[in-house]
Amino acid sequence: MDWARRIELVTVVVAAVVAVAGLWYSNVQAREQRATEYEGQITDRYTAAVENLGDDAIDVRLGGIYALQRIMQDSVRDHPTIVNVLTAYIRSHAPLPEAPRRSAEAEDQKKEQSKPTEPDADVQAALSVLGRRNPIHDAGRTWIDLHRADLRGADLSSADLSSADLRGADLRGATLGSTDLSGADLLMANLRGADLDDADLSSADLRGTDLTGAGLRAADLTGAELSSADLRDADLRGAGLRDAGLRGADLRAADLTGADLSSADLTGADLRGADLRGANLRNCRVSAGQVAAAVLNAYTRLPSEIASDPKVWERAAHPLPAGAR
């Protein structure tokens, strides 16, 4: 091949490389421009949505909440920020009142707090958006902070509230069936009459929590801390309470039929009238006196040193009739 042909071939190759590089650079610029425009659109949408949250009209506020939900789905980067915005919105729109100083105010507040209620539509919408979020995008940078929120009657069924901060929250009558509350902080929360059937409460902190009359059928309370919790009349049929801390808990008349209490700490717990028929208390920290005050049958599995106690044996051999506690 003569020099002229070689020069011509090199020129063609160089031109092709330059053309390809030019196209690549143009595509990069176009992508960057589109990304910039997209980020600008997200920012505009976010700003408009947050402004709507402060509107006086509830339908406008609802629009802002659902707009934030869409942004959370479209922009993973903005997901943690929106979670924080919505939790702050709920806390500010559904706060628990401060304890009144005068007795007359205390009486008025007691009457007000005793009324059946449910969250306003905007608060419920924000709760639903948080419960349906993709927790993978939390990326360990945020968590649900609803401490001291008034969430009476809220519908949080099947929500993901794992590791949520619900300290002192009022969840009376709330629907929390199949909700993930694993590792949640529920210290001194009020869950009186709440529906927690099939909920995951493993490793949750429930110290001092009021669970009177709560439904906890088949709930997972493995390793949960329930010291001094009020569980009177609670429905704990088939609940998993392995390794749970129940020191000083009030379990009077609680239904623990078929519950797994193996290796649980029941030191000082009040078991008077508790239904322990078919329950598993193997390796449990409990006294014969506590167990003798409960409802037992031949299928109640007890620590060997307690099962041989005459009083306990008598109660197991001659259980009370069904429904008698």
pLDDT average, residue stretch 85-110: 76
> Per-residue pLDDT tens for 128-143?
999 999 999 987 778 8
User: Residue 39 above 90 pLDDT?
Assistant: no
Structural tokens at position 59: 């339908």
Whether the model clears a pTM of 0.85, i.e. scores above it, the answer is no
> Per-residue pLDDT tens for 176-212?
999 999 999 999 999 999 999 999 999 999 999 999 9
> Per-residue pLDDT tens for 268-317?
999 999 999 999 999 999 999 999 999 999 899 999 899 888 888 877 76
For residue 199, the SS3 value is coil
Structural tokens at position 206: 């429930």
Cβ–Cβ < 8 Å for 189, 212: no
Phi and psi, residue 25, nearest 5°:
-65, -40
Residue owning tokens 């997209």: 38
The pLDDT of residue 56: 95
Phi and psi, residue 220, nearest 5°:
-95, 105
